Amino acid sequence: MRQQVDLSQVDLTGTMEDGIYIATIKHMERKPAKSGNPMRTLTWAISDGPNLGREIRYDNLVLSGINQKGDPIQPIRLAQLLVACKIPFTCEECAGGPGIQDDRIHTITIGDGTNGKKRGHVYCENGHELRIDFDDDTLLGASCRVEVATETNDKGRSYNVIKRYLSLD
Ligand SMILES: [Zn+2]
């Protein structure tokens, strides 16, 4: 049967408007970055509103290693993600040393330069500078609000990226 369909307004670039959305981690891949540094690549799915089910792919979390300048990589995005999604993890000092796991949900605080805490650094609720141990499988199904933006690659193709993670409350 022949069927008439209007494709004149279809946008295959598939980007959504920049803004804040609720999203869930749908898929995770363990693959090193080009630099060889350990990385997790997340696929998010929008879990609310008119863009329900739409995916944002290739959200890379580099976990450790050395950057191109030779400085240690700061896993800022992972810290943001742990806070936003309330991912359980072990704070080495709270647990009593490396290799001991308790997988609690910690309340991370950000230092403001007072009380011996460095400005912008992250601490557990007991004031420890965070050295953590976490189970990356707990990322699957985690939800938070994400700030979505649009970028364009050198071939002129637009795609959505996640700028930062924000907690649901
Ligand atoms: Zn601690």
Of the pLDDT bands very low, low, confident and very high (cuts 50, 70, 90), residue 67 is: confident
CA 23 – ligand 1 centroid, Å: 28
CA 130 – ligand 1 centroid, Å: 7
| Residue-wise pLDDT tens digits, 22-56 | 999 999 999 999 989 999 999 999 999 888 989 99
Architecture field, domain 15-87+135-169: Beta Barrel (2.40)
Q: Average pLDDT over the chain, rounded to whole?
A: 92
Instruction: For the chain, give every domain's residue range.
Output: 15-87+135-169, 91-133
pLDDT at residue 168 in the model? 93
CA 162 – ligand 1 centroid, Å: 29
CA 133 – ligand 1 centroid, Å: 11
Structure tokens at 143: 């939800």
CA 166 – ligand 1 centroid, Å: 22
**Cβ-based burial of 100 (10 A; exposed 0-12, middle 13-18, buried ≥19):** exposed
pLDDT at residue 11 in the model? 65
The Cβ of residue 114 has, within 10 Å, a number of other Cβ atoms equal to 7
CA 90 – ligand 1 centroid, Å: 8
User: 1: which residues sit within 8 A by CB, 6+ positions away?
Assistant: none
| Residue-wise pLDDT tens digits, 128-151 | 999 999 999 999 999 999 999 999
The pLDDT of residue 84 is above 70 = yes
CA 17 – ligand 1 centroid, Å: 39
CA 127 – ligand 1 centroid, Å: 6
CA 80 – ligand 1 centroid, Å: 17
- Dist CA 113 CA 115 (whole Å): 7
